[in-house]
Each structure stands twice: as C-alpha cells, then as structure tokens.
Amino acid sequence: MASITIRNLDEATKQLLRERAAHNGRSMEEEVRHLLRDSTQAPVSFPAEPAAASGSPEIFDPLELDGKRILLIITGGIAAYKCLDLIRRLRERGASVRPVMTEGARAFITPLVVGALANDKVFLELFSREDEQDVGHIRLARECDLVLVAPATADFIAKMALGLANDLASTIVLASNRPLLVAPAMNPIMWAAPALQRNMQQLRADGVHVIGPMRGEMAESGEAGTGRMAEPLDIVAAVRGLLAGTPGTIKGPLAGKRAIVTSGPTHEPIDPVRYIANRSSGKQGHAIAAALAALGAQVTLVSGPVTIADPAGVTTLHVETAREMLDAVEQLLPTDIAVMVAAVADWRASGAAGEKIKKKPGKAPPPLQLTENPDILKTVGHHAKRPALVVGFAAETQNLIDNARGKLQRKGADWIVANDVSPAKGVMGGDRNHVRIVSRSGVEDWPEMDKTSVAARLAQKIADRFETTEV
C-alpha cells in the first residue's frame, strides 16, 4: 500500500491543498483522502461549490460528456492549479481525461495530484521508452475526441503557431486531427503583446478554438487585467459545445452567413486608473453570438470588458472603448448580419489624463468634460457595406416602444430589440429578459424568459428571415 506524506509535496501543491481544505472546512489530510476517493469512484460526487463566473448553477447531467475522451495538455502557468478542478468537472460529467504535462506545468502542480484526479497515467516525456511503449505520441494524439490545452501559456501558444514539435505536448498538438481548444492564461501585459496577439490570430486562422482569457484579478498579487484562465465550468461548456458539433462547420440554416455581434459595456478612460462604464454583463450579447453560431453562422463577437467566458465556436475580439469597438466592427464589414447588443458608452471623457488625477486638499474636484462617442449601430446602419440585416437593441427605462421606433428610424436598423432596464426589472446583469421586437411592420411582445432562450429565439427569427425573404 502506497503512502503520501503531505510534508513532502511541493510548495505549490501544498498551498493548493491548504486553500481547498480551508474552503471545504477539512484538514489537509482529510482533503487528500477526499480527492483520492472521489477520483477513484465513478460516477464522482462532490460537495456543492460556488457557481462559476458565468453564474451557472451546479446542476448538471452526469452523462453529458459520457464516454468522451479528453486529452488535457497542462502547460506551465500558475493557472495550472485550476486544472485540478477542471479534471474533476469533466470527469463528473462522464468524460475520461488523459493528462499530458509539460516540464513547466510540473513546476506548478505535481503529476501525482493530476494522475490521482484523472485516474489515469500522466504522460510527460517525448523520448520516454515507457510512455512510448504504453501508448506512443501518435496514439495519444488520435485516441481522444478533443485536445484541450489548459492553461495555454504564451510560450506554448507561440509553439503552436509555429508548428514546433520539441516536446511531448507540442508534438501531440501537431500530430492530432481532433478539435483543439485552448484556454490561454498569462499576465495581462503578455496577453496584450503584439507578438502574442499575432500568434493568436494564427491559431484562429488554423481553426483552433479559443476560450478566454478573462479580465480580473490575477493569481499574482496586485496584478489585474485580461489574462485569467476561463473558469473550469465555462471550459466544460465549451468542450460540450465543440463535441456536440464543431461550430462554424454546423450545417444549420445560417451556414455560409457571416455575422457580427457586439456585446458588453465599453470602458472610457478618465485617467489610467479610472473609467466611465455601465452595468452591462455581456450575457445577452454573448448568448446571441453562441445561438447564431449554433445555427451555422460564422460569428465574430466584438466584446467590451466582461467577466464571462468567450462563447465556444465564435471568434471573439476584445476591446475596451467605443472607438475600438467601432474600428473592429468596421474592419469586419461586409457581413450578412449585424446584431449590436453592446451597451456602448454614449460619452467619453474629453482628453483622458495620461497620469492619475490627484486629489488636491482644499481644491474643488476636477471638472469632467464629456465628448460624444461614435454611434456604432448608426454607422453600420448607414454604411456603404451595410449588412443585409441590422439589429439593434434599445435599453430604456421609459417610453420603451416610442423610443425604439425612433431608434429604428435614426439608426437605420431593421429591427430593434427593446427591453426595459429599470432597476426593478433586474435585466442589466441578470439572467432573464423581457423583450419586444420593434420593426417597421409592428411590435412583437415576447414573454419573459432567460437570456439564452431570447438568444435562441432571435437567432431562429434571423434564420427565418433569411429563408423567407431576400434580405
């Protein structure tokens, strides 16, 4: 019988165990016993935990990934610790997880913990006689339904973009003909670096699916920005979506149609640390992008700063300001469909300060001068390359239908989806929505439903419109 001494585990694993044990109110020894027991019993059951960033409740079908084989490549970032939860989430839904770890990954978490959670051998070396005899890198690359790289470091992304094959993980990626999903995680400055963004463009052009990274606090103290790995439950949702049918290749009613969707708020800087924003969560816009993709459209989502995951099967461009959003949208034209859901800030601070504005004792607060932002919907609605169908949103707190009719006219839209965002309705940031579709032919009042249902119904209405008329 083997025994594990917690004292002998590496520091990163011990810290992780400490956090998990504290979270679950157990001693570290009890936590290890739970981890090992849970990983060796199938189907696995776990205590309830807080929902993921997307707010999804912890209710799932234990067979939703039944029999699916996920090859999980863990590369060397601090977010590697989240993989332990990811493995658990995949397995509790019926998937098997075969882990591959790069040398860097082993600096953050140990193969012992990964193997225990995955209940499988952890593959480490390209030139290991034992590993090659067991399975071999070509079989590893093929004997799976999906290859998932989480976390994907800047270095590994660069290797993938170049097609390098100098360790087991990169060789598998190159040798695989399975859908490939990567979850980047890195420092925000690395994520924004032109070289990294070039590599990401290459991966997308090569058909690699990307989830995240997200905005928020980084594991390193004091660091924040875009770079956090997507939450495990959101990665699981992306895996499920990809295995259900690779989006973009779906032969749905919108196959062959290109769509742009804008989503989320914009952030308009006042100085390097302050900005003007609004309460938009991006939930409705992201759901619409996913719903259009599910009907076969090739969708580019232009998202302002949000904390929810990029939808799977959709190319997501991340922007901060209204002007960046307009630039991104104009570069994507012409398309067949544009659905402008973003809550774009109407104004920005005139001449944002280059340095943080200091509070001066005894002096009046600095004045805030505002300049009008470009209206993206209006620009698209009157564009020389206007999409055949332009849909706008109208978030109003009064005179909903009259205001929506005015926008239809002024902005050159075909439909306006009007919703009441009075605080009592809880629409902004919430999960449900009650919308009216305002067009030149009248108003459709849809019942209140969750935002994914609104998205599915709107996508179907768009598909119907393309089927029945020459738009």
Chain residues that interact with ligand C5P, rule: CB under 6 A: 262, 322, 340-342, 344, 346, 373, 375-377, 392-394, 407
Identity of the residue, 376 or 437, whose beta carbon is nearer to ligand C5P in the bound complex: 376
Identity of the residue, 96 or 262, whose beta carbon is nearer to ligand C5P in the bound complex: 262
Identity of the residue, 376 or 456, whose beta carbon is nearer to ligand C5P in the bound complex: 376
Minimum CB distance to ligand C5P, residue 91 (Å): 40
Minimum CB distance to ligand C5P, residue 345 (Å): 7
415's CB contacts (< 8 A; 6+ apart) are 389, 391, 392, 408, 437, 438, 439
β-strand partners of 228? 214
Minimum CB distance to ligand C5P, residue 377 (Å): 4
State which amino acid sits at residue 273: V
Minimum CB distance to ligand C5P, residue 374 (Å): 6
**Both structure tokens of 230:** 């997507």
β-strands 449-450, 69-74: how paired? unpaired
Question: What whole-number distance in Å separates Cα of residue 103 and Cα of residue 169?
Answer: 10
Identity of the residue, 76 or 392, whose beta carbon is nearer to ligand C5P in the bound complex: 392
Catalytic residue selected from 199, 278, 373, 419: 278
DSSP notation for 407-464: HHHHHT-SEEEEEE--GGG--TTSSEE-EEEEETTEEEEPPPEEHHHHHHHHHHHHHH
Q: In 3D, which of 384, 287, 412 has the Cα closest to residue 341?
A: 287
- Alpha helices by DSSP H, listed for 355-450, are 376-381, 400-411
Q: In 3D, which of 26, 39, 153 has the Cα closest to residue 97?
A: 39
Active-site residue, 278 included: yes
Minimum CB distance to ligand C5P, residue 399 (Å): 12
Residue 54 contacts residue 231 (beta carbons within 8 Å): yes
Identity of the residue, 292 or 342, whose beta carbon is nearer to ligand C5P in the bound complex: 342
Residues forming the active site: 278
